[in-house]
Structure 1
């Protein structure tokens, strides 16, 4: 017969064992859905807490992508989530106006994609997100006016695309972003008049600014390093001032800048470009002043279709062009003054223009 004290010990042992077995269910983050999950209806979102009670971490991608137009209106029932071991993808939802139900997510190990949500007004629901392991894509959200909600993010190791958001007025919300590892692209945002919000941006892997009504580059004054190509095209800027902290570029394309009259001071610090320099289709640009420190171009130099370019003044320090040098369709150019220091062209020299009073082909 078991004596009473022994009985007590056995009961305590059983209770302790039960408590230990239940620990994963009590106050400890639980991972679920190792293959991720795609939610295609409001009903699936609303049922998430019942279907996955206690689940705070998803082991793969979380995708919210409605099957029927206008079905998904909110993601409020996903508030229990705080970590995504994969990508967070919110796309093709026509009725959703906010993503506030994601406000407890602090980190994702994949990419953030917010794409083609035609009624989405803001990103406030991402205000706790401080870590993105790969890329960020904010594309085709017609009603989105700013990026407030991304202020906890200070680096994006991969690509960062902000494209085709017709209602976007500024980049406010990126105030703490200092690093983008791959290309940073701002393209076809038809209402974006300012780069305000990028004042802390220090390093990018490449920079594409294309077809936005951005009036100046002054918010980029902290940008010191661009490790890839720079393409600036179809912007109504009048000068390049704002890139003053740069000293080296991998490549540079300035094209179809219809209001550009001067390169200003923004490129004065550039002493070398590893690859190509293309300055083309800028109908009001009068000279090359602003490239006064440039000594070496590792690729081709193309100066083409700048209708009122009168001189090459500004290139007085240029000594070495490793590739081709092409001067085409410069109707007002009458001399090569400004190239006095040029000693070496590694490729072909091509001068083609046939305008009265201008240079002739060689």
Structure 2
């Protein structure tokens, strides 16, 4: 029996050699398995087709094998270049160093729950990974490497590493399609500057890292697609080019210094600076609005900051969708930084100012502080429509946001906005006989809203003689000849040429201000407003004189149905006031047709249908006047999800749209290098082709297909495995490490899609591989070793002897055993054979085993049957 078990050992030990592991998940759960994997595949294989999972013995995987040891060394795996699945590491090594040949991990990289790892350094040639997670490693102190990654399809998550002190990695990343989350690392003191990062599609979270004193970077970051959350970091520097935070901006807990954020234009939901140690806030001078992209997630909060004593900036801040709260800042005594929004802007929710000092004591104090009267006309700036009484409305002078000559006085408080020694009132085309820069003559009388009364001109659109989009009072002066007249028109009157209302035989060739909807002198009462229209001759001069003619258009009724308006609803769910959407300052009291479900002005998108709604007012002077609002429903654009495809140069043309996933919209366009999306590999070049869906006000979405045109070149990534010397099935397996489709042949004529050839005859065989589409080819000669599985020594001329055939070695020795493990025959050369006799007598019919030993020391085993008939 001893010999029998030795023979079984031979049968188990002599397996066919495989250059790469078969497809599927690979789990290595002990050091012995790691070492065996390295021994089997290092030098012959550089890629894994599925997931690679490294699990320490402590996970319980090897509890049935007490001899297995924990994984402490994975440096032997450095030969790997690609992993087509995910890489998961949970081991007890003190370091993870290497993987510097690894260029691609198509799935996630997860280094988690490893209780002994102190350092991660490597992955320096890695260019692609979907997501990187480094978390719950209780001894980890430093992360280095990952220097060639420029883009991630998902997120970077580094968290709950109790002893992590430094992150010195990811220095070249420019785009993160998910979130960047570095949180809950109790000892973290240093992170990268992320100086090349341009966009984050989801959150940027830097929270609960109590020893991270400062961050300095993110200077190229333009857009944060969701939230910006920072807390427990004393000093924040950088963010010089950040323009949009699409959801929350949230700074809290212990922060002592923040950047100016002077390029930040919009925060889509809530803005909050709360419970910080900031002494001053200075910046946000490009911020226009907060909160108008999210329903019930909108606020502006600067509260609970115990040592905050100064806030400066917010010079263009004009809109808060929701609540504005400034409270519980016990050292803050100046709220003049709120004056622009209080004077010129809009807050749709509650204004809460309390428990501060000075002008920040309460809302009333803040409003009172902002109610200055620049022109001393008795009307506070907050309600004065003309802060300097020059006849130009503040809205036309930029509402305090424009200072053309940079003299410290905004145009709305500057009688000579462009500093050309010519008063704005003259350059705007209005009257100023006494030359004091103020509309009309002294004494100046004003309406309750600050507009000068008892004058024949002013408060029409200021002149823009060259129609370049800049008013004349903000650039060189232009002469404006003309004669005055009056026309009375009803809103439902026919269109009228205003030149017919001028006196003095005006010469043709002038232009009208404010511009009429027609672009000429034709006045359309349905869209143009009543008021003073100035006709200007094209003569120019360097002095402030002007020759103009004005037509006062009077509409006997103040009722106005507004102007036709078209609105696109982007999957709106909130209630909409149609009256507020009408252009042209419509009057109240009209009716809607068709009637809305609310029987008011309120459109409920869950009940009311999109379409045309007509607003009508019955006027006793001018009859029936109407305007229309057209509501169109649209959706947020979906360009799908791009991918990378390979195509043979001989293949027919393809439509790249067919390769987009994620149910893309069909109304998009392709980039200019392939405008119709039809790719012809014989004409078009390899490269990136972008599909764009533009749904107007509902946004733009893009997806990119990377196309690689394959030339007809020999394959280099083919492995051929021969499983031979078998009594049942000699087999050839062919592995091509590629996602493309291939076909296989043993004669070069008949090809099959299956990469396995069964029942292969012995002897030399040639394996052929070619791409199904005609690109790429490969051939290799292999030898299939066989032996006869029976013989019948009955002298009938057929199968009378047993000998090896289709065996590639010239010199070898064969030992034949009976079922008791005894040697009964030894054959010493390749010409030897057994005739079925033992000690001169016929051996009985039975199964016999044999062992072949070659001159080079290779050993092959098998068994055969002796049959006597």
**TM-score where L is the length of structure 1:** 0.79
Q: Shift of the alpha carbon at 1:166?
A: 3.8
Are the counterparts in 1 of residues 207 and 229 from structure 2 also a CA contact under 8 Å?
A: yes
* Aligned pairs for 1:101-112 within 5 A: 102-112=99-109
Task: Name the residue aligned to 1:280.
Answer: 274
Q: Shift of the alpha carbon at 1:231?
A: 0.6
User: Alignment partner for residue 41 of structure 1, among 26, 30, 34?
Assistant: 30
Q: CA RMSD in A?
A: 3.0
User: Alignment partner for residue 148 of structure 1, among 138, 144, 150?
Assistant: 144
Q: Shift of the alpha carbon at 1:159?
A: 0.8
* Aligned pairs for 1:45-60 within 5 A: 45-49=34-38, 54-60=44-50
Q: Shift of the alpha carbon at 1:179?
A: 1.9
* Aligned pairs for 1:4-15 within 5 A: none
**Deviations 1:296-355 (Å, cap 9, x if unpaired)?**
112311222112334553234211001222233222344542211112112233345499
- Aligned equivalents of 1:146, 1:156: Cα separation in 2: 21
User: Alignment partner for residue 225 of structure 2, among 221, 224, 227?
Assistant: 227
- Aligned equivalents of 2:354, 2:51: Cα separation in 1: 54
**Deviations 1:52-91 (Å, cap 9, x if unpaired)?**
6855432322111113277111124434432211111112
Task: Name the residue aligned to 1:320.
Answer: 319
Are the counterparts in 2 of residues 74 and 101 from structure 1 also a CA contact under 8 Å?
A: no
SS of residue paired to 1:194: coil
Distance 1:290 1:257, change over 3 A: farther
Are the counterparts in 2 of residues 150 and 174 from structure 1 also a CA contact under 8 Å?
A: yes
**Deviations 1:245-300 (Å, cap 9, x if unpaired)?**
21222231000124x1x5343x1221221221011001x32443222322211231
SS of residue paired to 1:341: helix
Are the counterparts in 2 of residues 172 and 197 from structure 1 also a CA contact under 8 Å?
A: no
Q: Shift of the alpha carbon at 1:113?
A: 0.8
Structure 2 gap segments, 5+ residues each: 1-16, 60-68, 292-297, 365-869
Task: Name the residue aligned to 1:114.
Answer: 111
**Deviations 1:200-251 (Å, cap 9, x if unpaired)?**
32322331111333333323323333222111101121xx431112122223
- Aligned equivalents of 1:328, 1:110: Cα separation in 2: 48
121-130 vs 320-329, greater mean Cα deviation: 121-130
SS of residue paired to 1:332: coil
Distance 1:234 1:33, change over 3 A: farther
SS of residue paired to 1:152: coil
The question of 1:304 aligning with 2:303 is answered yes
Q: Shift of the alpha carbon at 1:177?
A: 1.9
Are the counterparts in 2 of residues 64 and 89 from structure 1 also a CA contact under 8 Å?
A: yes
Distance 1:128 1:309, change over 3 A: closer
Task: Name the residue aligned to 2:89.
Answer: 90
User: Alignment partner for residue 347 of structure 1, among 340, 343, 349?
Assistant: 349
Are the counterparts in 1 of residues 193 and 215 from structure 2 also a CA contact under 8 Å?
A: no
Structure 1 gap segments, 5+ residues each: 1-24
The question of 1:66 aligning with 2:62 is answered no
Distance 1:45 1:319, change over 3 A: same
Q: Shift of the alpha carbon at 1:356?
A: 11
- Aligned equivalents of 1:185, 1:350: Cα separation in 2: 33
- Aligned equivalents of 2:237, 2:166: Cα separation in 1: 19
**TM-score where L is the length of structure 2:** 0.35
Are the counterparts in 2 of residues 31 and 59 from structure 1 also a CA contact under 8 Å?
A: no
- Aligned equivalents of 2:356, 2:198: Cα separation in 1: 44
Are the counterparts in 2 of residues 331 and 358 from structure 1 also a CA contact under 8 Å?
A: no
- Aligned equivalents of 1:80, 1:292: Cα separation in 2: 53
Distance 1:128 1:121, change over 3 A: farther
Distance 1:117 1:291, change over 3 A: same
Distance 1:143 1:345, change over 3 A: same
- Aligned equivalents of 2:100, 2:150: Cα separation in 1: 18
Higher Cα Rg, which structure: 2
Are the counterparts in 2 of residues 174 and 197 from structure 1 also a CA contact under 8 Å?
A: no
Are the counterparts in 1 of residues 131 and 155 from structure 2 also a CA contact under 8 Å?
A: yes
The question of 1:257 aligning with 2:254 is answered yes
Task: Name the residue aligned to 2:80.
Answer: 81
268-277 vs 167-176, greater mean Cα deviation: 167-176
Aligned residues: 326
**Deviations 1:125-156 (Å, cap 9, x if unpaired)?**
42332211x11111233444433231122222
53-62 vs 172-181, greater mean Cα deviation: 53-62
Which structure shows the higher strand fraction? Answer: 2
Distance 1:279 1:100, change over 3 A: closer
Task: Name the residue aligned to 2:284.
Answer: 291
